[in-house]
A and B are shown apart, each in its own frame.
Chain A
Amino acid sequence: MKRSFFGFIKPKLTYSAITDSDAEPVSLPVSKDIRLLLDTPLQNSRDLTLSVGEQVKAGQRIQVTRDARDYAMASRSGQVTEINPFLGMMQAQMTAVSIAVDSEAHQVADDEFKAISQSPSLENAARFLQGLPGKPDFSPFFESDRPVKAIVVLGVDQELLSITNQYFVKTSIESIKSGIDILRKLTGIQNVVMAVPEHLVEIAGAAGAGVKTVDLEYPAAHPELILRHMMANELKGGDTTSHADAAFFSAEAVSAIGAAFNTGKLPLEKLVTFISKNGARRLVSVPIGTPLKDILKTFDETIREGDRIIFGGPLTGVAVYATDHPVGGDTDTIMVQDGSQILENADVACINCGECVRICPVNIPVNILIRLLEAEQYEAAAAQAELDACIECGLCAFVCESRIPIFQHIKLAKHTLEQMKAEESHG
């Protein structure tokens, strides 16, 4: 990545646009093992609802404890082989459930959802659909103090290089349309808007929702920025009292919701944009929980010591530790970087060049912020330097001349402040 020769113009990053030359997704042969990651910590083994050796059906809800809010869907039937604690980002305590998959002939499907799909309700949607590809999040509808006024379907990809959601807009507008109809029925909210890039506007019109064009310049597709843009238009219309809050669903999730209610069967195949070391982009459709190494094998991608594998895009993704990391419901993109391409962060102070301040999409005084963060003055950073306003796009660290890991400082600060708050409220 090089900056423009004319450095007084700030660098621009644009989202990838899906083209006709993008091949249809590759489907993988079924993996022998799948692994599901759950946000619930594995603390007290007596509360476990699962046990090693238990048989699970395809489409069965997998929960760590009975009252855990978080669950996953087994994408294939099989036998539970391992239940382990898993350490996520910022030391998040998670649980990993490994399943040895039954052979294709012996697959057993769970029919709990089929029974309730005839009588859709918001509770059932929250109970069954959150494990779908695209991870639809129904929690905003259950927060009584912040009523949702609009639903936004994201036909844009959050991450650079990804074309996952654009693919669904391009090819599955019919099931997106039925997904939107179901969301309207479930929530009673009629105001549904589809946010799509310019080249998909025509297709998106068929979904029966309002269409909003999103710029290709990063980070215009960020939900926060889309919402702000929508509100600006609303306010121009004279409705100054409108404090709209919106729920966001990815195009893939809405398409999966549509398919689930139409067929009574939960679609549990995740579409992933795979970016190999040489930058080539391919789509691959895999059952949720498929280990990364199976995808690497399919695409003949050799991984050497020191390479970097990223779940998510180049600016906001997460680097994984091992090649058996599973594809999750929200894994839109996987990219591989050769070790020789990796630039190291530096251990030097901010030189106050101001690149970060000029590129920040929400005008945070990053030069002040980073001084406070490096001194671990997190409360001061929130009070004086607008830490809370950050939408976590990663651009500040992308342009940093001193190569300070600004984004990491910000995440750590937010995490630490949250922990402090949690400790205070617990006494």
Chain B
Amino acid sequence: MAESIKLTVSHAPFWHSGSQISVKNYHILVATLLAVIPGVLQYGIPALSVVTLSIASAMLWELAMNYVTRRPITIGDGNAALLGMLFAMMLPATTPWWVVIVGTFFTIVVGKQIYGGLGGNPFHPAVLAMAVLMLSWGSYFDFNEALVNYQFDFNPVYPLVLAKSFGAGAVEGFNALDLLLGRQIGGIGTSCVLGLIIGGIYLMLRGYIRWEIVVSFIVGMFVTAFCFHQVNPDVYASGSFHLLTGYSMLGAFYLATEDSSSPVNFIPMLIYGALGGFLAVLIRNIGTHIDGVIFAILVINLTNPIIDKIRPKTSRKVINYA
């Protein structure tokens, strides 16, 4: 052989669409800022410290687990940072530092890494962590209590608590526009519903989250709440109230759509989303918990492997089977 040029040899295909896990995660991370920045403006420095602590500790837990399990370092893919961000978005601005760190421990270590890391988790890691914390230290997540020292120019009562305790009539004071613009108390990244929606729509258009799940989740939630409202308008709040309060929009756009724990086929995605929306309202209206979104998403995560079996028939080879 005359030449000794070393060529690159690899298997087909030799083109790639260019998509990448890190690009996806950073896009989602940036989109969440649309809701997080108004949240930080509303709740001030404590909110900022919760967000930064959550992201930082999530990344450190990830790094620690990479070393413990002797696997490649994966904090660069942006997933740990994203999970830290999503977890912080659900917290009240006054959450103590140790709750944040315990929460990210459950997110990264228990929710993700013990299943083998990204792609192996059966539940949304941040949702799992939130459920654990809500059941263990519920008092920290009582928004009325947590945010009692803040002065707002709107009604500083967590809308879902009001609806649950005093019926639909008590929340008539909240109009949809105020709720949309974040004139309500709640988690750092869940008060400004408009920011969540704009960021979410951007991600849907870019294909970073699946529109099928988002749309069916919202429809499922609205229809269920609407039916309740029709049956007893005095007790059950309207569909739009449910959509614009609590973790509804965060759940629809950012939590239910997590890749690993959600289906990939068309019909299963619709069932999955609709079921999530349905369960969330069911838990809110007749369950004991204030907000049903967290538990609803855990339950639909659980159904994912089964409903994703509903898939289009594979076209078998004509030559061999005809």
A389 to B206: give the CA distance in the assembly, Å: 31
In contact, A8 and B207 (Cβ under 8 angstroms): yes
A415 to B10: give the CA distance in the assembly, Å: 17
Interface membership of A318, Cβ < 8 A: yes
Q: Which of B99-107, B115-123, B151-159 contacts A (4 or more CB under 8 A)?
A: B115-123
A357 and B264 in contact, given A8-B207, A351-B21, A351-B259 (Cβ under 8 angstroms): yes
A228 to B312: give the CA distance in the assembly, Å: 17
Q: Which of B32-40, B139-147, B238-246, B314-322 contacts A (4 or more CB under 8 A)?
A: B314-322
A224 and B317 in contact, given A1-B15, A2-B18 (Cβ under 8 angstroms): yes
Interface membership of A258, Cβ < 8 A: no
Add 6 more A-B contacts to A8-B205, A354-B264 (CB < 8 A): A245-B319, A303-B7, A307-B5, A319-B7, A323-B7, A348-B21
A321 and B9 in contact, given A3-B17, A349-B119, A357-B264 (Cβ under 8 angstroms): yes
Q: Nearest B residue to A140 by beta-carbon distance?
A: B319
In contact, B3 and A398 (Cβ under 8 angstroms): no
Interface membership of A83, Cβ < 8 A: no
A403 to B6: give the CA distance in the assembly, Å: 24
Contact with B along A366-387 (1 / 0, CB 8 A): 0100000000000000000010
Min distance, Cβ B31 to any Cβ of chain A, angstroms: 13
26 contacts between A and B (CB under 8 A): A7-B19, A8-B204, A224-B319, A231-B322, A244-B322, A303-B7, A306-B7, A308-B9, A315-B14, A315-B15, A319-B9, A321-B9, A342-B8, A348-B77, A353-B264, A354-B264, A358-B264, A361-B315, A363-B312, A389-B315, A398-B15, A398-B17, A401-B20, A402-B119, A407-B11, A408-B11
A307 to B14: give the CA distance in the assembly, Å: 12
Interface size on A, residues (CB 8 A): 78
Chain A residues whose CB sits within 8 angstroms of the CB of B259 once the complex forms:
351-354
Interface membership of A18, Cβ < 8 A: no
Min distance, Cβ B16 to any Cβ of chain A, angstroms: 5
Interface membership of B311, Cβ < 8 A: yes
In contact, A350 and B17 (Cβ under 8 angstroms): no
A319 and B14 in contact, given A339-B8, A350-B119, A353-B259 (Cβ under 8 angstroms): yes
Which one of B6, B15, B319 has the highest number of Cβ atoms from chain A below 10 Å of its Cβ? Answer: B15
In contact, A227 and B264 (Cβ under 8 angstroms): no
Interface membership of A151, Cβ < 8 A: no
Interface membership of B254, Cβ < 8 A: no
Q: Nearest B residue to A335 by beta-carbon distance?
A: B14
Min distance, Cβ A145 to any Cβ of chain B, angstroms: 12
Q: Which of these, A308, A349, A365, A398, contacts B116 with CB under 8 Å?
A: A349
Q: Which of B1-60 contact A (CB under 8 A)?
A: 1-3, 5-21, 24
Q: Nearest B residue to A227 by beta-carbon distance?
A: B318
Interface membership of B66, Cβ < 8 A: no
Chain A residues whose CB sits within 8 angstroms of the CB of B206 once the complex forms:
5-8
Min distance, Cβ A35 to any Cβ of chain B, angstroms: 12
Interface membership of A41, Cβ < 8 A: no
Chain A residues whose CB sits within 8 angstroms of the CB of B208 once the complex forms:
7
Interface size on B, residues (CB 8 A): 53
Chain A residues whose CB sits within 8 angstroms of the CB of B15 once the complex forms:
1, 314-315, 398
Chain A residues whose CB sits within 8 angstroms of the CB of B315 once the complex forms:
228, 361-363, 389
Interface membership of A55, Cβ < 8 A: no
A3 and B8 in contact, given A352-B260, A353-B259 (Cβ under 8 angstroms): no
Chain A residues whose CB sits within 8 angstroms of the CB of B207 once the complex forms:
3, 6-9
Interface membership of B173, Cβ < 8 A: no
A323 and B5 in contact, given A224-B319, A354-B265 (Cβ under 8 angstroms): yes
Q: Nearest A residue to B316 by beta-carbon distance?
A: A389
Min distance, Cβ B146 to any Cβ of chain A, angstroms: 34
In contact, A389 and B10 (Cβ under 8 angstroms): no
The 4 closest A-B pairs by CB, nearest first: A7-B207, A354-B264, A408-B11, A394-B13
Q: Which of these, B14, B74, B77, B205, contacts A308 with CB under 8 Å?
A: B14
A418 to B2: give the CA distance in the assembly, Å: 37
Chain A residues whose CB sits within 8 angstroms of the CB of B6 once the complex forms:
305-306
A312 to B12: give the CA distance in the assembly, Å: 10
In contact, B12 and A317 (Cβ under 8 angstroms): yes
Q: Nearest A residue to B120 by beta-carbon distance?
A: A349
Interface membership of B211, Cβ < 8 A: yes
In contact, B10 and A308 (Cβ under 8 angstroms): yes
Chain A residues whose CB sits within 8 angstroms of the CB of B16 once the complex forms:
1, 343, 397-398, 400, 403
A400 to B262: give the CA distance in the assembly, Å: 17
In contact, A3 and B18 (Cβ under 8 angstroms): yes
Q: Which of these, B7, B204, B211, contacts A322 with CB under 8 Å?
A: B7
Interface membership of B164, Cβ < 8 A: no
Q: Which of these, A8, A231, A345, A402, contacts B10 with CB under 8 Å?
A: A345
Interface membership of B72, Cβ < 8 A: yes
Chain A residues whose CB sits within 8 angstroms of the CB of B12 once the complex forms:
310, 312, 314-319, 394, 397, 407-408
In contact, B319 and A227 (Cβ under 8 angstroms): yes
A386 to B312: give the CA distance in the assembly, Å: 12
Min distance, Cβ A45 to any Cβ of chain B, angstroms: 22
In contact, B211 and A401 (Cβ under 8 angstroms): no
Q: Which of these, A308, A335, A350, A403, contacts B7 with CB under 8 Å?
A: A308
Contact with A along B218-260 (1 / 0, CB 8 A): 0000000000000000000000000000000000000000011
A293 and B311 in contact, given A227-B319, A231-B322, A349-B118 (Cβ under 8 angstroms): no
Interface membership of B210, Cβ < 8 A: yes
Interface membership of A106, Cβ < 8 A: no
A214 to B311: give the CA distance in the assembly, Å: 27
A293 to B5: give the CA distance in the assembly, Å: 12
Min distance, Cβ A289 to any Cβ of chain B, angstroms: 17
Interface membership of B313, Cβ < 8 A: yes
In contact, B118 and A316 (Cβ under 8 angstroms): no
A339 to B208: give the CA distance in the assembly, Å: 29
A329 to B264: give the CA distance in the assembly, Å: 41
A257 to B16: give the CA distance in the assembly, Å: 37
In contact, B11 and A357 (Cβ under 8 angstroms): no
Chain B residues whose CB sits within 8 angstroms of the CB of A401 once the complex forms:
19-21, 24
A342 to B207: give the CA distance in the assembly, Å: 24
Q: Which of these, B3, B11, B263, B318, contacts A411 with CB under 8 Å?
A: B11
Chain A residues whose CB sits within 8 angstroms of the CB of B262 once the complex forms:
352
Interface membership of A109, Cβ < 8 A: no
Interface membership of A108, Cβ < 8 A: no
In contact, A352 and B264 (Cβ under 8 angstroms): yes
In contact, B10 and A363 (Cβ under 8 angstroms): no
Chain B residues whose CB sits within 8 angstroms of the CB of A306 once the complex forms:
6-8
In contact, A349 and B7 (Cβ under 8 angstroms): no
A337 to B263: give the CA distance in the assembly, Å: 37
Q: Nearest A residue to B9 by beta-carbon distance?
A: A319
A398 to B15: give the CA distance in the assembly, Å: 6
